[in-house]
Structure formats: structure tokens, C-alpha cells
Amino acid sequence: MDKKLHLFIIWDNARFMEKQILNDIKKKFEIFKTYEINWSKENFAKNLSRFYGKKLPKSCKKEKEVGFGPFLVVLVYDNHPKIIKDGNHNIMVAKHFYRHLLGKNLIHASDTQDETAENLLFLLGKSLKEIEAETSSSAIQTITCDIPGSLSWTTIDEALDLARKVPFTKVIAYKESFLIHSRHADIVRRVLNASPCRFKIPGRHKYYVKVGKNKQPVYIRKVH
């Protein structure tokens, strides 16, 4: 079976054990790249909620649990993946081992390729294909910024370019707006940081995206 790209996140409150965790990751997987990402404290909770989406329960204080400081993102190749119904068994076993070691849910891992692709969009603003085309690096790359579009977008093209990286997504200019058809409409909404408008057009749900001080209407529709 072909090797698969996955990622682990070692959140701030788990970094006191990062050396032990990284050593174990190296034994089990091939480390491709490592990033240290620093989200701003004032937007950390919003970034976290956007990253996890519906997987993060409302009123959850996840940011206090994981910590507000810089966290590590470790991209790894599993050269011998063991795919089961819920994802890559090897990744899931490693994730649960690290969580058990820490005594808390302070490690995130992408169990499937779809989850890897989704995570990369929010963390790095890149598609899985773009990342895999890059060269492996042993140096830790530092990134200090929030998830793209956290407060607002510089231009609508910047926002739509990222939305187009969601698999099976098509963007069409429509009058003064845009029609966005996607199999992954929920991910597109989170990528764009789109907010719902108060009314709907049948079959095409209307949202707005903050661009500078303006609100750009878009229509995001789930297709199969």
C-alpha cells in the first residue's frame, strides 16, 4: 500500500513532553516537515473553533485545556499504513498512546487523508497536493499568524483561492456574487469564515464573507 501523509499536533500544554513524543513519532513514522505555529491569544479560541468545526462542542473551553502558546505541527508519512473503517489504525493507536501518556486530550492527529487535507488548509493555507510537492525538511519552520481570513480577507480573490483548494469545489462568478458548489460545503464555509445571511434563495444558501470593511455575498451549496 502507498505511504500516506498525516499530521500530529502537539498543543502548547503538551510541549513539556515534546521530546519524548517526537522521539516516538520518529520510531514509528517518517517525519516530513515540522512547524511551530503561534496563533494570537485574542483569536486563539476562534481559530480553534474554526479548525475543529462541528467536532468542537459549544461552550467547550478547549483553548484553556490545550494552552494559548505556540504548538507543534508534525507532518509524517506512514510508510506501512493499516487502513480500517475509521482511518489509519497506526495513527490512531499512536495518538491514543500519547494522550494516555499525557493524561489529557492534548494531541491531535489526522486519522484519514481527508482530515489531513482539511487540517492543512486551516493550518498552512495549502492543499495536500501542494504540501506533498514540497521537499522534506528537518528544520522547524516558524509561523506566526492566525488562520487565513480570521478577522477579514484582504481581497475576495484571496478567500476564493483558498476555497478552491477544498476537494470537489467549484467557484462561479454570478452577477455581483459567487456560486460555490462543493461536496464539502461545511469545510468551505469554515475556510471562508463565512456567516449566514438572514434569507435564502431556494437551492442556494446565501452567506457573506468579510473583505476589509465590506461584506461580500456568496452562495454556498452542497452537491453530491
Q: Which three cell numbers stand for residue 155?
A: 481581497
pLDDT of residue 196: 84
Domain-located, residue 151: no
The answer to whether residues 127 and 172 belong to one domain is no
The answer to whether residues 81 and 28 belong to one domain is yes
* Chain segment 5-15, per-residue pLDDT in tens: 999 999 999 99
Query: Per the structure, how many domains does the chain have?
Result: 2
Note down the domain range covering 215: 156-222
pLDDT of residue 60: 67
Q: Which three cell numbers stand for residue 111?
A: 486519522
Domain-located, residue 150: no
* Chain segment 76-92, per-residue pLDDT in tens: 999 999 999 889 999 99
pLDDT of residue 224: 87
The answer to whether residues 127 and 207 belong to one domain is no
Last residue of a domain, one of 84, 112, 144: 144
Domain-located, residue 25: yes
d(CA 40, CA 114): 27
Domain-located, residue 49: yes
Residue 6: helix, strand or coil by DSSP?
Answer: strand
Mean pLDDT of 105-120: 96
The answer to whether residues 173 and 126 belong to one domain is no
pLDDT of residue 76: 98
pLDDT of residue 77: 98
The answer to whether residues 50 and 160 belong to one domain is no
pLDDT of residue 92: 97
The answer to whether residues 138 and 212 belong to one domain is no
Q: CATH number for the domain including 135?
A: 3.30.70.141
Amino acid present at 66: V
pLDDT tier, 59 (very low <50, low <70, confident <90, very high otherwise) = low
Mean pLDDT of 41-66: 83
The answer to whether residues 123 and 15 belong to one domain is yes
The answer to whether residues 11 and 91 belong to one domain is yes
Pairing, β 177-182 against β 214-222:
parallel
Q: Which residue has the cell 493524561?
A: 103
The answer to whether residues 172 and 125 belong to one domain is no
Domain-located, residue 63: yes
Residue (of 224, 2, 35) closest to 119 by Cα position: 35
* Chain segment 180-222, per-residue pLDDT in tens: 999 999 999 999 999 987 655 555 578 999 999 999 999 999 9
The answer to whether residues 183 and 136 belong to one domain is no
The answer to whether residues 41 and 130 belong to one domain is yes
pLDDT of residue 202: 53
Q: Which three cell numbers stand for residue 75?
A: 507532518
The answer to whether residues 209 and 111 belong to one domain is no
| Whether the predicted pLDDT of 108 surpasses 60 | yes
